[in-house]
Structure 1
Amino acid sequence: MLTLDDAKALDADDPFKGMRERFFLPEGLIYLDGNSLGAMPSAAPGRMDEVVRGEWGRDLIRSWNVHDWIGAPQRVGDKIARLVGAGPGEVVVADSTSVNIFKLLGAALAHNVGRKVILTEPGDFPTDLYIAQGLAAQFGAEVRVVEAEALEAAIDDDLAVLMLTHVHYKSGRRRDMAALTAAAHAKGALVLWDLSHSAGAIAVDLNGAGADLAVGCGYKYLNGGPGAPAFLFVAERLQGVLASPLTGWMGHAEPFAFVDDYRPAPGIDRFLCGTPSILALTALETAIDLFLETDLIALHAKGQGLCDLFIGQVSAFAAVHDLRLVTPSRPQRRGSHVSFAHPQGYPLMQALIDHGVVGDFRTPDVVRFGFTPLYVGYEDVWRAAEALKSLLESGVWREPRYAVRAKVT
């Protein structure tokens, strides 16, 4: 186990230690929930004010051209592409993760004529499953749900698209993107990856893995703000043959021609739909720009170092207090959050939050801790583990007030 002095020494040598000052974080709070809602970049309010007052307020509708509002989905998409191993023109920012899953699943089903199976696993993030179920009902398709260890064997000639999260939202388990993509391709199927708990936190190489399609969230590790727009990826080789089922005007080849008949835009633009939210894109772009200042390899390594430290510290007392590690211990098999199961996980997490360490709870029994390497330090992690140990020993979490469920946790 590391001492507090060891953790402070690691922080002193951290090449990203100055990044914490570029986020708004309350003094004394240890924030380990950036995998659910990222912290606000300190530059965001000023940049938003500039856009609101200077661009919207002063330049009004001219800003679509003068300030390139019209190009924001592609511009910010190209920046995100650098974080996920994609090329220019392969990522666009638009809509929500749910809407983007609908677009890409629909495109995959329509492309793979005669194949009617969407393959996924139980316990995946609910919106992914719900969208697949709704879309399957419209297409007359089947959502086939197979346990994780049997997925590869379930890939057959009926499969249209394999849909998986790269890093599981609850357990933190990381999928082998390259291997599963290759297995699906061998049977003529496409693969849709959800990067919501990967992008900005761990190394992702979409093109290196031969990926077809991907979606991701803008408000978790990417720090784009609550409800930030999501992004989608379509490999360049597929852009000319896939068609979005949502044929909105921004996906038209000539959106300002105002003709009655739809004609898809070339390239990634065909996966746009409605008018982009410029204020939301502004906040997201401000956050993404921080990543582009960093050495991503070193940043991802730090994230795994934070996870290792937390697992090591908590494992020393876990068994005595009914804590069970859910997340894989090997860095290559996990994302950048760590989950432990506890029979009374909800009140335990509420007590921890009340004592200045913010993580979150996922049913039925998982307490989850996200390690965002841009602004979380080693001392934060050491103190979080000590706070957890102290609470477990004191039994404070058993107080009735901590058992009251909030609407959002």
Structure 2
Amino acid sequence: MTPTDQTPTDPTPTDPTPTDPTPTDQTPTDPTPAPLTPRAHPAAAELLARAAELDRADPLAAYVDRFAPADGVSAYLDGNSLGRPLRDTAERLATFVREDWGTRLIRSWDEQWMELPLTLGDRIGELTLGAAPGQTVVADSTTVMLFKLMSAAVSLQPGRSEILIEAANFPTDRFVAEGVAAAHGLELRRLPSNALTGVSAAEVAEAVSERTALLVLNHIDYRSGAIADMRAITAAAHERGVLVLWDLCHSVGAIPIELDACGVDFAVGCTYKYLNGGPGAPAFGYVAAALQDRAEQPVWGWMGAGDVFGMRDAYAPATGMRRFLSGTPPVLGMVPMQGMLDLIEGAGIVGIRAKSLSLTGLALEAVDALLAPLGVSLLTPRAPEQRGGHVTVGHPRFQAIVQELWQIGVIPDFRHPDGIRIGLSPLSTSHSETVHGIIAIRDALS
């Protein structure tokens, strides 16, 4: 589900100008959503004016128009859960069906599909993960990739008897860790954490021991948006010989990540949030080069074999990241995210992070001015270097209010027991849309 020393507090994009911000075959639309009708409030007009000013100055503003408009939606605040499709996604899929599949047919396996999990993985690694080539593969769902890499990690640690996971980690991570621990006869121990700040390096250093085989953590807390200090935590675990697996689902594509520089062992991330791969898009897995030839994943399939078409009697794994494949790769599911990676390459991850900080900073101002007086609590760190791409606020009435908001085309999401997550995907969200959405939350509350 970035250490503070690797995320600049005021990053400046190195190449903020989009290479082709306006589709040539589409009529550009105003990225500002149709205005809502907020009840009179002295701060609302000021916030809307400030948002408009920030949009005019935003070097990435033109990217907003690269995403398909959604009829009846005035504020989409859930890009951290499911990213919007690009305008060209439908045509990209149609071209795939017409040409790659429809014309080249099975020849496309030899021409591109066999290598696509690795080449696409390398591109994700280069643009978003700080990972050298040959360490990232696009394969199965997040759940399956977590199972494969957790199993591989504990198999590398004979004699160690426990997996340590953050108690409030995303349910999938906890459930998979529970199953892996049971299968390997290990204890699953849960590390308590502060809901607002997440796990610290000092807490990890105190919790791990020579008994610990693997530590599993979210890079960004799926509830509060708090960023864990990847570099310091990984180092603290390594001091006790503990391997670390990071869940990057809420950080990939939103903030700079430095897997190689931080010495990370394993990582898994989804591609349907900030990489806009669409519902059910396949996940990626990262395994440090030094571990690959010793790591054995548990789902042996023909695509992970050393001789894929040899039809051998016994399984012998491929070298490198191909060994982490199992069955036939989900090629169709890899198509949409390729367009988003083009945008990320044009905008640059540093520029994307700068836009993210601008959006979440404005959201905090709006929360303070419009929601706090109504008893809404802030459940996200205020410090820029400690927060990711979403802002979470809490109120007892939010579960019912989210349903009301969806009916009027304002789309945040609800997290049990009382949280609204305001998810701000930097390339598809404007400052004005952000403020309009928060005004709608205030109107629904009041």
Picking from 344, 369, 375, the partner of 2:428 is 375
In the other structure, the counterpart of 2:189 is 144
Picking from 223, 233, 258, the partner of 2:311 is 258
SS at match of 1:293: helix
In the other structure, the counterpart of 2:376 is 323
Counterpart of 2:48 in structure 1: which amino acid?
L
SS at match of 1:292: helix
In the other structure, the counterpart of 1:51 is 96
1:339 aligns with 2:384: no
Equivalent residue runs for 1:125-140 within 5 Å: 125-140=170-185
Picking from 109, 114, 117, the partner of 1:70 is 114
In the other structure, the counterpart of 1:403 is none
1:226 aligns with 2:284: no
Query: How many angstroms does 1:352 deviate by?
Result: 2.1
In the other structure, the counterpart of 1:39 is 84
1:294 aligns with 2:327: no
Query: How many angstroms does 1:31 deviate by?
Result: 0.7
> Cα deviation per residue 1:109-156 (whole Å; 9 max; x = unaligned)?
110011121101112110100111111111101110020254431111
Distance in 2 separating the partners of 1:29 and 1:389: 15
Query: How many angstroms does 1:40 deviate by?
Result: 0.4
SS at match of 2:347: coil
1:81 aligns with 2:113: no
In the other structure, the counterpart of 1:116 is 161
Distance in 2 separating the partners of 1:188 and 1:44: 44
SS at match of 1:218: coil
* Contact 2:360–2:389, Cα closer than 8 Å, also in 1: yes
Identity of aligned residues (%): 43
Picking from 366, 372, 386, the partner of 1:313 is 366
* TM-score, structure 2 normalization: 0.86
* Contact 2:253–2:274, Cα closer than 8 Å, also in 1: yes
Counterpart of 1:105 in structure 2: which amino acid?
M
Distance in 2 separating the partners of 1:185 and 1:352: 46
* Contact 2:168–2:192, Cα closer than 8 Å, also in 1: no
Higher relative contact order (CA 8 A, sep 6+): 2
Query: How many angstroms does 1:356 deviate by?
Result: 2.4
- Aligned-residue Cα RMSD (Å) equals 1.3
In the other structure, the counterpart of 1:192 is 245
Counterpart of 1:168 in structure 2: which amino acid?
D
Picking from 426, 431, 437, the partner of 1:384 is 437
Query: How many angstroms does 1:318 deviate by?
Result: 3.2
In the other structure, the counterpart of 1:402 is none
**Structure with more of its chain in helix, by fraction:** 1
> Cα deviation per residue 1:139-194 (whole Å; 9 max; x = unaligned)?
10111002025443111110101000100111111111011100110000100000
Distance in 2 separating the partners of 1:182 and 1:138: 28
* Contact 1:44–1:287, Cα closer than 8 Å, also in 2: no
In the other structure, the counterpart of 2:216 is 163
SS at match of 1:314: helix
SS at match of 1:92: strand
Stretch of structure 1 that moved more, 143-152 or 30-39: 143-152
> Cα deviation per residue 1:341-399 (whole Å; 9 max; x = unaligned)?
11122112222222322100011111111110011011111212222222222xxxxxx
Distance in 1 separating the partners of 2:69 and 2:188: 42
Distance in 1 separating the partners of 2:367 and 2:120: 39
SS at match of 2:231: helix
In the other structure, the counterpart of 1:404 is none
SS at match of 1:361: strand
* TM-score, structure 1 normalization: 0.93
Query: How many angstroms does 1:245 deviate by?
Result: 1.4
